[in-house]
Structure 1
Amino acid sequence: MKQLVLSMIAYAVQRDVDATQLCKLAGIDLTALKRKNAALVTAQQLQDLWLNASRLTNDPLFGLHFGEALQPAALGTVGEIIQSSATVGDALTHAAALTHLVTDECRIEIQRSVKTFTVKLLPATDYGATPPYAFRQLIDLLMVLVIHELDGLLLEKIVPQAVRLAYTVPDPVEYERVFRCKPSKRAGEYVLVFDIKYWDEPLLTANYELQSLLLQKVSSMPQPSAQPQTLQTRIYNYLLANSYLGVSSLNDMAANFNISPRSLQRKLKEEGVKYQDIADAVRRSLAVYYISSGNYPLKDISWMLGYNELSAFTRAFKRWTGSTPVNYQSL
């Protein structure tokens, strides 16, 4: 729970929210929260944190976007269960048993059939069709995390066959973008349905060394400051922290920050930079970091940076550094 709260605050800071103001409104002592033996955040504090984070970012879908931005945290969870899991099904089963470490508001149950497997979120309280605001945000967050956890296990973007929610979503188009399929409403259900073909897929353990490197680089980044940051800095940090399946597009970045692509481009132009410049800076930084860290296959590094062809990665790397990846690796 502590890590979830700290991650929520950090994401709000990326969205240009003052951390001190947010914590004050939620009744949370941020300095005390960072201590090793910090007291638990109360249910009321968490409710106030969700409400004020949404208000200060002017984003009614804050939980959905927060979940989309929590990919490294999802990979960290995967890292904890990978050693005891041989397949995707094993890993999901183990992860479901750890839900109580994140929240006691619901638990996760997994069911299998001949053609599909289903991830069900079972609320501790039956709220009917009008659950409290904070609970809806939490459900959005957890469901997106399940999808990203599968992404992390298989190193590909997984598309659910169905997403069912007990409430009517306020922005169906944005939910469909994040969930990768159109959500439907069904009383009492919070459900994700996936093709059974993924269940017995073996985990690609070799890839987790590269993912672990990404987490190390992210954890070494300066912690978000209470002082305002430029938009390009906030975008750079976001892209770097969420790059395990490639660098987000301009449209996805704008949607996560809850502004239009045109507005995002205009704001960056005022700072004298283009979105593509920031994206390339992130790719270059990660490429050099991965290659310098050890003898990892260049095809894996290329894939992690979002290049489907090694030749495309090679051309880009030479443009950035003046050297091919192979020559740089031998230095």
Structure 2
Amino acid sequence: MEEYRKQFVLNMLAYAVQRYLAPDQLCRMSGLDFKLLKGRSGPAITPMQLNDLWRNAVHLSHDAAFGLHFGESLQLSALGAVGQIIQSSRTVGEALTLAAQSIHLITDLFSMNVTRANKIISIRFIPNESASVANPDAFRQMMELFMVFTIHELDGLIFEKTAPAKVRFPLNDSVDVKEYERVLRCKPRHSQDEWGMEFKDVFWDEAIITANHELQRLLLEMTHSSSVASQKEPPLSERIVNYLTANAYLGIASLEEIAANFNTSARTLQRKLQEEGVSFQQLADSVRKTIALQYLSAGNHPLKEVSYILGYNELSAFTRAFKRWTGTTPFDYQKNKQ
């Protein structure tokens, strides 16, 4: 269990690097030894250290929704055994049920309950009262992280944008409600003591598309997003390309989504990119081309799935873009690579 939690913390630090927070500084401020944390051995991470890690990440990033944004970009691999269970599930309903049963491998702060009744899937996050009171920063950030991760990972399981019918939880006054609404794809309702969401059960019996997990692995290899070794700040354009690439298995993020994850406004982000002589659209297109070439070279995956991942609603639009990039169609390119 400790191994899975350490892996989760390392992935949290990898996300912090994407936000350009120095992982060694973040660890030092939280009473953790960064070098020992990266090694196989080393002391267990205490609840207090984890709470301090979350609090300091929020402080250094100036982002009260740090956990929310981390959840928006979280990959299944970051969850260790829980991620493996989800990937090996046959249907979405089975994946949700097994994830709820194994969430204790990641955190003791709360448990997860999944039920299906009257054509509604209800997901409840049940606080561990003593742990949540003792570690309020970790509890808040972890809870928001898992709520948004549940929504966004459903996209990756079925290749469709999913949105809850209802979301209820104690809203954080430090976070703009509109940002909650953007990330959760639903206007949240304030509840003093409830953490939960509801979905229509239309996708409960749908088979999981395993090809997406292979794509996720390829993208992580391309960007080395699990690495927390970098200490030097790269140009903003490079950081955005790395972020877009690492998270492209859930679709190419929009300018507004990137701006939120970099804790700035879309206008400011565009201005800073202009200073580097590039536009966000150019970066997004370069990532689309890279992902298309990588995925089509990796195996005989359906072109429609690749098209969807890259943000094209119609296969014909993807075909036109690919031909503009390479001079050939994606079908011919994939055929020649076999």
Q: TM-score, normalised by structure 1?
A: 0.92
Question: What is aligned with 2:245?
Answer: 240
SS at match of 2:248: coil
Match of 2:231 in 1: 226
Residues 137 and 207 from structure 1, CA distance in 2 versus in 1: closer, same or farther, beyond 3 angstroms?
Answer: closer
- Structure 2 counterpart of 1:282: 287
State the distance in 2 between where 1:298 and 1:128 align. 46
Q: Which residue of 1 aligns with 2:15?
A: 11
Shift of 1:6: 1.0
Comparing 97-106 and 13-22, the one that deviates more = 13-22
Q: Which moved more, 1:76-85 or 1:199-208?
A: 76-85
Deviation, structure 1 residue 131: 8.1
- Label 1:6 to 1:221 Cα distance change in 2 as closer, same or farther (>3 A): closer
What RMSD over aligned residues (CA atoms) do the two structures have, in Å?
2.5
1:72–1:215 CA contact under 8 A, matched in 2: no
The answer (yes or no) to whether the contact 2:225–2:246 under 8 Å persists in 1 is no
Question: 2:267 aligns to what?
Answer: 262
Mapped partners of 2:335, 2:42: distance in 1: 47
Partner of 2:56: 52
In the alignment, structure 1 residue 176 sits paired with structure 2 residue 181: yes
Say which of 20, 23, 27 aligns to 2:24.
20
Kept after mapping to 1: 8 A contact 2:251/2:308: yes
Task: Give the fraction of aligned pairs with identical amino acids, expressed as a percent.
Answer: 52
- 8 Å Cα contact 1:9-1:19 kept in structure 2: yes
Residues paired across the two proteins, number:
331
- 2:332 maps to what in 1? 327
Distance of 1:73 and 1:102 partners within structure 2: 12
Unaligned residue ranges in structure 2 (runs of 5+): none
- Separation of aligned partners in 1, 2:74 and 2:88: 23
Describe the shift of the 1:134–1:224 C-alpha distance in structure 2 as closer, same or farther (beyond 3 A).
same
Structure 1 segments unaligned to the other structure (5+ residues):
none
Q: Is the 8 A contact 2:114 2:122 kept in 1?
A: yes
- Partners of 1:128 and 1:187 within 8 A in 2: no
- Does residue 1:32 correspond to 2:69, yes or no? no
Q: Deviations over 1:28-70 (max 9, x none)?
A: 1111111123332111111111111111111111111111111
- Which of 315, 318, 332 matches 1:313? 318
Preserved contact between residue 47 and residue 135 of structure 2 (Cα < 8 Å): no
User: 1:218 deviation in Å?
Assistant: 4.5
- 3-state DSSP class of the match of 2:164? coil
Which residue identity does 2:297 align to in structure 1?
S
* Structure 1 counterpart of 2:192: 187
One-letter amino acid of the structure 2 residue matched with residue 173 of structure 1: K
Distance 1:39 1:126, change over 3 A: closer
Match of 1:199 in 2: 204
Range with greater deviation from structure 2 (128-137 or 236-245): 128-137
Between the aligned partners of 1:151 and 1:296, the Cα distance in structure 2 is 18
Q: 1:251-280: CA deviations, max 9, x gaps?
A: 111112110011001111111111111111
**Alpha-carbon distance between aligned partners in 1 of 2:211 and 2:187, rounded to the nearest angstrom:** 33
2:149 corresponds to 1:145? yes
Normalising by structure 2, we get a TM-score of 0.90
After superposition, what is the alpha-carbon deviation per residue over 1:101-135, rounded to whole angstroms, capped at 9, x for unaligned? Answer: 11111111112211211111111116999982331
Asked if the contact 2:79–2:106 (Cα under 8 Å) also holds between the matched residues in 1, the reply is: no
> What are the residue-to-residue correspondences of 1:29-178 with 2, within 5 Å?
29-73=33-77, 80-82=84-86, 84-125=88-129, 132-169=136-173, 170-178=175-183
Q: Which residue of structure 1 lines up, in the alignment, with residue 302 of structure 2?
A: 297
